[in-house]
Amino acid sequence: MRKSNWTILAVLAVAAGFFLWLWYYLGFNFVDEPLDLVLAVAWWAMVVALAVGIHAAESKRRRRVRTTYLAPDVLFNSEAGFVNLGAFEEGTTLADALEYTLAGLKYTFDRKDPSSDALGATGEPVGAAGPEAVDGDVASSEGPAEVRPQGPVRFERIVRTDKLDKDDAEKWEGEVVDVKTRRAVPFKGKEELSELLAAQPI
């Protein structure tokens, strides 16, 4: 199980224990009048809402982690860092490289920046918000598929992944955003994504 999953389970376990203790401490386990029953229903509805909220927040965080920025020769992901597309085998498509990168994500809380000063106010690479160049001199050297780009990197497209099933590429869903036009095109399945990315060998 991933570290983030254990973190969520730990938070939920502690919260459940605290609410259970508070439930008995406040005497809500005794039903003396109809209002007690109303309070009980409202109380546990709040507990369920808390659990759902935590799950929704984690899902949103994972979606941000899966967001990938594409440049002609490299791609950038906040967890994987810069990935050299030339390191993949001949005939590998951009969609293949992206799938490989996303499948290896651990969803940790550590982030890799394209440079120390190339992030916009939203926390995204500057190049993802417009035609500005991003200096790629600061990049992780971990992993055989990562690269330290020479000079500025201009991101052309952004791939946002809503759903990803490692065992079924057709359950891959999200959208491809053109950096210049800001036009977002949704896709369902790796085949549609490949068509949007032109499916040219890298």
Q: Is residue 201 part of a domain?
A: no
Q: Is residue 202 part of a domain?
A: no
Are residues 43 and 116 both part of a single domain?
no
Q: Is residue 140 part of a domain?
A: yes
Are residues 89 and 131 both part of a single domain?
yes
Q: What is the pLDDT of residue 159?
A: 96
Q: Is residue 183 part of a domain?
A: yes
Q: What angle do CA 4, 163, 145 make, to 5 degrees?
A: 70
Are residues 28 and 111 both part of a single domain?
no
Q: How many beta carbons lie within 10 A of that of residue 173, not counting itself?
A: 17
Q: What is the pLDDT of residue 4?
A: 59
Distance CA 153, CA 176 (A): 19
Q: What is the pLDDT of residue 200?
A: 52
Q: Residue ranges of the chain with pLDDT lower than 70?
A: 1-5, 28-29, 31-32, 36, 115-151, 199-202
Q: Is residue 75 part of a domain?
A: yes
Q: What is the pLDDT of residue 162?
A: 94
Q: What is the pLDDT of residue 150?
A: 66
Distance CA 123, CA 190 (A): 28
Are residues 25 and 115 both part of a single domain?
no
Cβ contact 173:187 at 8 Å = yes
**Of 64, 87, 102, which residue is a domain's last?**
64
Q: What is the pLDDT of residue 168?
A: 83
Question: Cα-flanking dihedrals φ and ψ of residue 60, to 5°?
Answer: -65, -40
**Of 23, 46, 64, which residue is a domain's last?**
64
Q: What is the pLDDT of residue 120?
A: 36
Are residues 96 and 176 both part of a single domain?
yes
**How many domains does the chain fold into?**
2
* Model confidence, pTM: 0.66
Are residues 13 and 112 both part of a single domain?
no
Are residues 98 and 156 both part of a single domain?
yes
Q: What is the pLDDT of residue 19?
A: 77
User: Which residues span the domain enclosing 100?
Assistant: 68-196
Q: Which residue has the tokens 């057709």?
A: 170
Are residues 47 and 109 both part of a single domain?
no
Q: Is the dihedral angle over the CA atoms 182, 183, 188, 191 positive or is it negative?
A: negative
Q: What is the pLDDT of residue 12?
A: 74
Are residues 49 and 125 both part of a single domain?
no
The strand pair at 134-135 and 81-84 is best described as unpaired
Q: Which residue has the tokens 């009980």?
A: 40
Are residues 92 and 108 both part of a single domain?
yes
Are residues 91 and 169 both part of a single domain?
yes
Name the nearest CA neighbour of 83 among 52, 104, 58: 104
Are residues 55 and 95 both part of a single domain?
no
